[in-house]
Amino acid sequence: MAITLVNPEGLPTIDVYRQVAIASGSRTVFVAGQVAWDAAGATVGAGDLAAQVEQCYLNVGTALAAAGGTVDDLAKLTVYVVDWTPDKMPLLLDGISRAAAKLGSTPVPPGTLVGVAALDLPEHLVEIEAIAVLD
Protein backbone atom coordinates (compact mmCIF):
# COMPACT_ATOMS: atom_id res chain seq x y z
CA MET A 1 0.00 0.00 0.00
CA ALA A 2 1.26 3.46 -0.92
CA ILE A 3 -0.16 5.27 2.14
CA THR A 4 0.84 4.87 5.79
CA LEU A 5 -1.43 6.70 8.25
CA VAL A 6 -0.04 7.72 11.64
CA ASN A 7 -0.83 9.75 14.74
CA PRO A 8 2.56 11.09 15.88
CA GLU A 9 3.39 11.58 19.53
CA GLY A 10 2.73 15.15 20.53
CA LEU A 11 -0.50 15.41 18.51
CA PRO A 12 -3.93 14.32 19.72
CA THR A 13 -5.33 10.98 18.60
CA ILE A 14 -8.59 11.52 16.73
CA ASP A 15 -10.85 8.53 16.15
CA VAL A 16 -12.18 9.52 12.74
CA TYR A 17 -8.89 10.41 11.04
CA ARG A 18 -5.11 10.20 11.37
CA GLN A 19 -2.95 13.28 11.67
CA VAL A 20 -0.41 12.33 8.99
CA ALA A 21 -0.40 10.38 5.73
CA ILE A 22 2.99 9.26 4.43
CA ALA A 23 2.81 8.59 0.70
CA SER A 24 5.29 6.31 -1.03
CA GLY A 25 3.38 5.56 -4.24
CA SER A 26 4.10 6.72 -7.74
CA ARG A 27 0.71 8.06 -8.90
CA THR A 28 -1.29 10.86 -7.29
CA VAL A 29 -5.04 10.91 -7.89
CA PHE A 30 -7.05 14.08 -7.35
CA VAL A 31 -10.80 13.51 -7.03
CA ALA A 32 -13.09 16.46 -7.67
CA GLY A 33 -15.50 17.38 -4.92
CA GLN A 34 -18.17 14.70 -4.77
CA VAL A 35 -21.73 15.60 -3.86
CA ALA A 36 -24.67 13.26 -3.20
CA TRP A 37 -25.44 12.47 -6.83
CA ASP A 38 -26.19 9.00 -8.09
CA ALA A 39 -24.87 7.83 -11.48
CA ALA A 40 -27.78 9.54 -13.25
CA GLY A 41 -27.11 12.90 -11.55
CA ALA A 42 -30.08 12.73 -9.17
CA THR A 43 -29.51 13.93 -5.60
CA VAL A 44 -29.56 11.14 -3.02
CA GLY A 45 -30.89 11.88 0.47
CA ALA A 46 -32.41 15.33 0.03
CA GLY A 47 -32.47 16.95 3.47
CA ASP A 48 -30.61 14.01 5.08
CA LEU A 49 -26.99 14.84 5.97
CA ALA A 50 -26.04 11.24 6.88
CA ALA A 51 -27.42 9.87 3.60
CA GLN A 52 -25.58 12.54 1.62
CA VAL A 53 -22.29 11.91 3.44
CA GLU A 54 -22.68 8.21 2.67
CA GLN A 55 -23.28 8.90 -1.03
CA CYS A 56 -20.33 11.31 -1.22
CA TYR A 57 -17.98 8.68 0.23
CA LEU A 58 -19.35 6.03 -2.12
CA ASN A 59 -18.76 8.41 -5.03
CA VAL A 60 -15.18 8.96 -3.88
CA GLY A 61 -14.78 5.16 -3.81
CA THR A 62 -16.18 4.91 -7.35
CA ALA A 63 -13.80 7.61 -8.59
CA LEU A 64 -10.81 5.89 -6.99
CA ALA A 65 -11.82 2.52 -8.43
CA ALA A 66 -11.71 4.10 -11.91
CA ALA A 67 -8.06 4.97 -11.20
CA GLY A 68 -7.31 1.48 -9.87
CA GLY A 69 -7.51 2.41 -6.19
CA THR A 70 -9.70 2.19 -3.11
CA VAL A 71 -10.42 4.35 -0.08
CA ASP A 72 -7.38 2.69 1.54
CA ASP A 73 -5.27 4.77 -0.87
CA LEU A 74 -6.60 8.10 0.40
CA ALA A 75 -3.96 10.59 1.52
CA LYS A 76 -6.26 13.56 2.31
CA LEU A 77 -9.94 14.43 2.45
CA THR A 78 -11.60 17.83 2.60
CA VAL A 79 -15.24 17.82 3.68
CA TYR A 80 -17.42 20.87 3.12
CA VAL A 81 -20.69 20.96 5.11
CA VAL A 82 -23.41 23.57 4.66
CA ASP A 83 -24.21 25.49 7.86
CA TRP A 84 -21.89 23.28 9.94
CA THR A 85 -22.40 23.17 13.69
CA PRO A 86 -20.82 20.61 16.06
CA ASP A 87 -24.22 19.05 16.80
CA LYS A 88 -24.17 17.68 13.22
CA MET A 89 -21.14 15.47 14.01
CA PRO A 90 -23.24 12.33 14.80
CA LEU A 91 -24.90 12.59 11.36
CA LEU A 92 -21.53 12.99 9.67
CA LEU A 93 -20.13 9.98 11.52
CA ASP A 94 -23.24 7.92 10.74
CA GLY A 95 -22.85 8.61 7.03
CA ILE A 96 -19.15 7.69 7.15
CA SER A 97 -19.95 4.48 9.01
CA ARG A 98 -22.63 3.47 6.51
CA ALA A 99 -20.30 4.13 3.58
CA ALA A 100 -17.46 2.24 5.28
CA ALA A 101 -19.70 -0.81 5.69
CA LYS A 102 -20.44 -0.77 1.96
CA LEU A 103 -16.84 -0.03 0.95
CA GLY A 104 -15.38 -2.66 3.27
CA SER A 105 -12.98 -0.15 4.83
CA THR A 106 -13.18 2.91 7.04
CA PRO A 107 -11.39 5.84 5.41
CA VAL A 108 -9.34 7.66 8.08
CA PRO A 109 -6.77 9.78 6.20
CA PRO A 110 -5.92 13.27 7.39
CA GLY A 111 -8.96 15.44 6.85
CA THR A 112 -10.24 18.94 7.03
CA LEU A 113 -13.85 19.82 7.84
CA VAL A 114 -15.01 23.20 6.54
CA GLY A 115 -18.35 24.83 7.24
CA VAL A 116 -19.71 26.70 4.21
CA ALA A 117 -22.74 28.87 3.51
CA ALA A 118 -23.78 26.96 0.38
CA LEU A 119 -22.65 24.47 -2.26
CA ASP A 120 -23.47 24.14 -5.97
CA LEU A 121 -27.19 23.37 -5.47
CA PRO A 122 -29.44 24.17 -2.51
CA GLU A 123 -30.21 20.47 -1.92
CA HIS A 124 -26.54 19.53 -1.50
CA LEU A 125 -25.54 19.54 2.16
CA VAL A 126 -22.01 18.14 1.85
CA GLU A 127 -19.18 17.85 -0.66
CA ILE A 128 -16.04 15.74 -0.29
CA GLU A 129 -12.85 16.14 -2.29
CA ALA A 130 -10.03 13.63 -2.07
CA ILE A 131 -6.37 13.05 -2.84
CA ALA A 132 -5.06 9.50 -3.11
CA VAL A 133 -1.67 7.98 -3.85
CA LEU A 134 -1.37 4.68 -5.72
CA ASP A 135 1.57 2.33 -6.23
Residue 1 has pLDDT above 80, yes or no: no
Cα–Cα dist 82/118, whole Å: 5
* pLDDT over 70, % of the chain: 100
Model confidence at 33, in pLDDT bands (50, 70, 90)? Answer: very high
Q: What are phi and psi of 112, to 5 degrees?
A: -130, 130
* Closest by Cα among 49, 18, 85 to 57: 49
Q: Is 127 exposed, middle or buried (0-12, 13-18, 19+ CB in 10 A)?
A: buried
User: What is the value of pTM for the model shown?
Assistant: 0.94
pLDDT for 34-79, tens place per residue?
999 999 999 999 999 999 999 999 999 999 999 999 999 999 999 9
* Closest by Cα among 133, 129, 132 to 32: 129
Model confidence at 96, in pLDDT bands (50, 70, 90)? Answer: very high
